[in-house]
Amino acid sequence: GEDVEQSLFLSVREGDSSVINCTYTDSSSTYLYWYKQEPGAGLQLLTYIFSNMDMKQDQRLTVLLNKKDKHLSLRIADTQTGDSAIYFCAERDTDKLIFGTGTRLQVFP
């Protein structure tokens, strides 16, 4: 099966940039996604990237994809306390989303 790995925890100061990393194993994935989950809540789609792209920018979010290394990252510029949450990357395998292990982002003043 596919394994999607993320580092467990990231702590940043408010106003700094955050970079959350993800590695995946299925080279046939067509789309890769980033979701945000706040405590007790569902999943909020942040952004997604097609596998033939290497970068996508959407306001404070920048996604980088290195298909050769099967590495995906999410950069959040000017991180705010409201960005504190768990962030999941996910790869799409036919009609299934395979989620990463999740990274807890903590933003401190």
Partner 1 sequence: DTEVTQTPKHLVMGMTNKKSLKCEQHMGHRAMYWYKQKAKKPPELMFVYSYEKLSINESVPSRFSPECPNSSLLNLHLHALQPEDSALYLCASRDSGDGYTFGSGTRLTVV
Q: Any contact of residue 24 with partner 1 (CB under 8 A)?
A: no
CA distance 90 to 31: 8
Binding-site member from 7, 23, 31, 67 for partner 1 (CB under 8 A): 31
Binding-site member from 7, 14, 23, 48 for partner 1 (CB under 8 A): 48
The phi and psi torsions of 31 (rounded to 5 degrees) equal: -130, 150
Q: Any contact of residue 21 with partner 1 (CB under 8 A)?
A: no
Single out the residue of 93, 4, 5, 105 nearest to residue 46, CA to CA.
105
Write down the least CB distance from residue 16 to partner 1, Å: 26
